[in-house]
Amino acid sequence: MENELQTIQSAINGDEAAMRSLWSRHAPHIDAVVRRLVGNDLDLAADIAQEVWIQIFRALPQYRGDSQFGTWARRIAVNRTLNALRKTRRLAKIETDVEEDTAIVEPDTERSLMMATIEKAAARLSPGARTVFMLHDVEGYTHEEIAERLGITSGGSKSQLFKARAKLRTLLAHLIDRPVRKDLEHVAPVY
């Protein structure tokens, strides 16, 4: 922590190597937050991530050290991403129906494949539901904080989260449910 505070102070003083060090250490986490909120539009996510880093470096002199730098930077990433999404009108309240055949995927036990599957499923949510889900269940925001940031009610946040979780349960059912083999239906289950 002490070393990072020195790096932050050097970055505030204009040390480009210190800025590069902060960026290389925290960019993967910041980029992940932005991608989760944006969804499938990778170009938009890259543009927003660049704006986030500009904002982080501009706000660096205001960093007081009350929280870890990564936590502080993630808050900036969330706020900046939501503002950018508002500008591009990607937070439209349009629900899209999920086609039933999209939920049929062969189960795989590899953690990376599972995470990719969850990310894909989250990307299929409506922009509003995805944003509330990511803010609440991934980033840990309360419904009141989400409501304030998105300009909706706390009840609206809860409703969007309920819809997101329900749709994710449908999309990710294959990760939990084991398919029944037709040739073994007559055999008693093993407990």
Q: How confident is the model at residue 181 (pLDDT cuts 50, 70, 90)?
A: very low
Compute the average pLDDT of residues 115-143: 85
Give the integer Cα–Cα distance in Å for 151 and 127.
14
Percent pLDDT > 90 in the chain is 31
Average pLDDT, the chain: 79
Q: How confident is the model at residue 110 (pLDDT cuts 50, 70, 90)?
A: low
Give the integer Cα–Cα distance in Å for 17 and 23.
10
Q: How confident is the model at residue 1 (pLDDT cuts 50, 70, 90)?
A: low
pLDDT at residue 139 is higher than 60? yes
- pLDDT digits over 26-71, tens only? 999 999 999 988 888 888 899 999 999 999 999 999 998 888 999 9
Q: Given this model, what pLDDT does residue 85 score?
A: 82
Q: Which residues, 6+ apart, have CB-to-CB distance to 98 below 8 Å?
A: 124, 167, 170, 171
Q: Which residues, 6+ apart, have CB-to-CB distance to 73 below 8 Å?
A: 26, 29, 30, 56
pTM over 0.85: no
Compute the average pLDDT of residues 165-190: 62
Q: Given this model, what pLDDT does residue 105 score?
A: 45
Domains and CATH numbers, the chain: 1-90 (1.10.1740.10), 93-178 (1.10.10.10)
Asked whether 160 and 128 are in contact (CB, 8 A), the reply is yes
- pLDDT digits over 69-105, tens only? 999 999 999 989 888 887 776 444 433 434 444 444 4
Q: Which residue has the tokens 């990760």?
A: 175
Q: Given this model, what pLDDT does residue 23 score?
A: 93
Q: How confident is the model at residue 19 (pLDDT cuts 50, 70, 90)?
A: very high
